[in-house]
């Protein structure tokens, strides 16, 4: 795309981004293209610090209507080593589609603290959390959870 980030927080979380933006200088005006299900955390933090914020719904998260039956069968047979979740909506949508508790013995890797908390809220044990909270970190977390 050719864009360069002017600011990247130490941890790739919404809270850390808000903290870094507020600390970067005097309040400014920000355009936030976001998902339809984005939490209000960033907007609220910026506005409370005096920033002007324009939100734009840039995309919608739409879950599929059914889970591939083969995935359910492989889970039940213990043929899947690690479930990797890159967002809270993925966790919620997957378990809505699964329609049953995760069979024991399955391991879970998460991209970050918010997604990990969603997993725990749904009764899952998180075996590994990405650090840093990005796709490379998630790959490392999957390897760790798989014992590799």
User: Do both 81 and 54 map to the same domain?
Assistant: no
**Of 147, 111, 105, whose CA–CA distance to 132 is shortest?**
111
Q: Determine the pLDDT at residue 103.
A: 79
Q: What is the CATH number of the domain that holds 119?
A: 3.40.50.10090
**pLDDT averaged over 10-residue windows placed end to end, the chain, 148 residues:** 89 90 96 94 97 96 90 90 95 91 88 96 95 94 93
User: Do both 52 and 75 map to the same domain?
Assistant: no
**Does any domain span residue 79?**
yes
User: Do both 47 and 95 map to the same domain?
Assistant: no
* Beta carbons of 76 and 70 less than 8 angstroms apart: no
pTM for the model: 0.80
User: Do both 54 and 73 map to the same domain?
Assistant: no
**Does any domain span residue 90?**
yes
User: Do both 48 and 74 map to the same domain?
Assistant: no
**Does any domain span residue 88?**
yes
Q: Determine the pLDDT at residue 102.
A: 82
Of 6, 36, 59, the one marking the end of a domain is: 59
Q: Determine the pLDDT at residue 148.
A: 74
**Does any domain span residue 64?**
no
User: Do both 44 and 73 map to the same domain?
Assistant: no
**Does any domain span residue 21?**
yes
User: Do both 81 and 134 map to the same domain?
Assistant: yes
- Count of domains observed in the chain: 2
For tokens 């998180």, name the residue. 126
pLDDT in tens, 40-63: 999 999 999 999 999 999 999 898
Range of the domain at 93: 69-145
């Amino acid at each position: 795309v050719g864009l360069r980030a002017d600011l990247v927080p130490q941890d790739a979380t919404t809270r850390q981004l808000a903290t870094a933006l507020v600390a970067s200088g005097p309040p400014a005006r920000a355009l936030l293209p976001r998902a339809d299900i984005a939490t209000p955390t960033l907007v609220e933090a910026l506005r409370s610090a005096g920033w002007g914020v324009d939100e734009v719904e840039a995309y919608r998260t739409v879950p599929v209507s059914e889970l591939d039956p083969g995935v359910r069968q492989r889970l039940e047979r213990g043929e899947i080593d690690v479930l990797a979740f890159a967002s809270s909506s993925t966790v919620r949508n997957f378990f809505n589609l699964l329609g049953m508790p995760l069979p024991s013995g399955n391991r879970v890797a998460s991209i970050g603290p918010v997604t990990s908390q969603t997993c725990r809220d749904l009764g899952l044990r998180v075996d590994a959390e990405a650090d840093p909270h990005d796709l490379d970190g998630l790959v490392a977390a999957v390897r760790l959870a798989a014992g590799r």
